[in-house]
A = this chain, B = another copy of it.
């Protein structure tokens, strides 16, 4: 994918994000924060590639650190969001 195509995606996604997020009611702002936080753990994808490559040790170490951090972010984020939202749903 060339740079401008990437840039186009970036811009469109920002617009989409703004439209979506402004619709989230204040009640759900805390779960939104933790949930979008979990989503930003998408860097896990990059981390996996780095950690699984047969590159230099440095790359693999960096990859390992990235996998650990990103996984905490993803697992912790989605789980805690789910915990909060489950409370909202109970009623």
Which A residues fall within an 8 A CB radius of B?
1-2, 5, 8-9, 12-13, 15-16, 19-20, 23
Q: Is the interface of A mostly helix, strand, loop or mixed?
A: helix
Do B15 and A5 have beta carbons less than 8 Å apart? Answer: no
Cα distance A23–B8 when bound, in Å? Answer: 23
In chain B, what residue has the closest Cβ to A2?
A: B1
Question: CB-CB < 8 A to A1: which residues of B?
Answer: 1-2, 5
Cα distance A13–B11 when bound, in Å? Answer: 11
Question: CB-CB < 8 A to A12: which residues of B?
Answer: 9, 12-13, 16
Question: CB-CB < 8 A to A5: which residues of B?
Answer: 1, 5, 9
Cα distance A9–B6 when bound, in Å? Answer: 10
